[in-house]
Copies of this chain bind each other. A is one copy, B any other.
């Protein structure tokens, strides 16, 4: 049996994801698809709309055979670390290929870009540092350095201003660093741009567009496989609303104001005077939207700020986060019968301990995942009922 690996967040699982799973299996001739999925907090530094168990069910109902959790350490990290964690886990799962969606749609330009940067690493880094001195954000500095380099060595490269191309680049980079035997495959994203609003005449919309529509109380049933749509409806019926920073604002504001600015610097990603802006704006803002509007500056991207807020919210310090390097386990969130068969057959090739129940294990990286779930569930409790220790007691979902 052969598996293709996917790096996902499924926030929520939609028709575009469905297409991606089918294509990934078809193109790589894989028997099953394994998704490594962010847990309760995502790479954009946001809580997931619905919890990881609900998102696992969506995936298993629509073509994914195994869902494993991308630990908090990586799921809330910058793109390169996010990719490193995810690709390492897929490699440990003995996948023969990994497939990612991209604006580019063909793999050669990714490989060219990787070679270009790898062969000119010093010049590239110096160019980034130089651009940073002008006060632009890190992604902008990266873009500048890349464009400069491309001009010097003409070839067919990817456009690194596209969000999915950036992630794809880091997947390739991570696989190369691992010396992984996994084949890299990319699948063209269809119809919907990353930030586009939904268009009811189509059946594909971006996750961002769908989330926006959900918060605007628009119907999104056109854009989701039936099981995903049902899962969202059930969540809404149970909890009354979807999780968001706005819903967590009373706790986030309390968390920020409970510390002195100097104490805030202990939390991961709080850097360079941000502690004073945090304290100041937390006091005067009456909603998350207002707070972010006040906090945002040219210097930091929205995502960068949100990741910092995630760490403050969950109480994760620099000291805690920097203690980790490589993934130390594989947390199984769910599987189909086919997925289970794959696990039995590949038992000896799986390179990390496979964890089904977390209660018995004391891995510090896993402790942060449990902590993230506790904090997510305390947020849910502000407007609904939720068991706090659900994560410890839940076995993997089997369908």
Contact = CB atoms under 8 A, between A and B. Distances in A.
A283 B388 contact: yes
- The size bracket of the interface on A is 20 to 34
A265 interface: no
Contacts of A263: 315
A255 interface: yes
A257 interface: yes
Nearest to A284: B389
Interface stretch (A103-111, A213-221, A325-333, A375-383): A375-383
A258 B375 contact: yes
Nearest to A320: B260
A124 B202 CA distance: 84
Interface stretch (A22-30, A127-135, A246-254): A246-254
Contact of A253 (B250, B283, B314, B378): B378
Given A254-B251, A259-B315, A283 B374 contact: yes
Nearest to A367: B260
Nearest to A387: B286
Given A257-B375, A315-B259, A374-B257, A250 B381 contact: yes
Interface string A372-399: 0011001001100000110000000000
Interface string A193-233: 00000000000000000000000000000000000000000
27 contacts: A250-B251, A250-B378, A250-B381, A250-B382, A251-B251, A251-B254, A253-B378, A254-B254, A254-B255, A254-B375, A254-B378, A255-B255, A255-B258, A257-B374, A257-B375, A257-B378, A257-B388, A258-B314, A258-B315, A258-B375, A259-B315, A263-B315, A283-B374, A283-B388, A283-B389, A284-B388, A284-B389
Given A250-B378, A254-B254, A283-B389, 16 more contacts: A250-B381, A250-B382, A251-B251, A251-B254, A253-B378, A254-B255, A254-B375, A254-B378, A257-B375, A257-B378, A258-B315, A258-B375, A259-B315, A283-B374, A283-B388, A284-B388
Interface of A: 250-251, 253-255, 257-259, 263, 283-284, 314-315, 374-375, 378, 381-382, 388-389
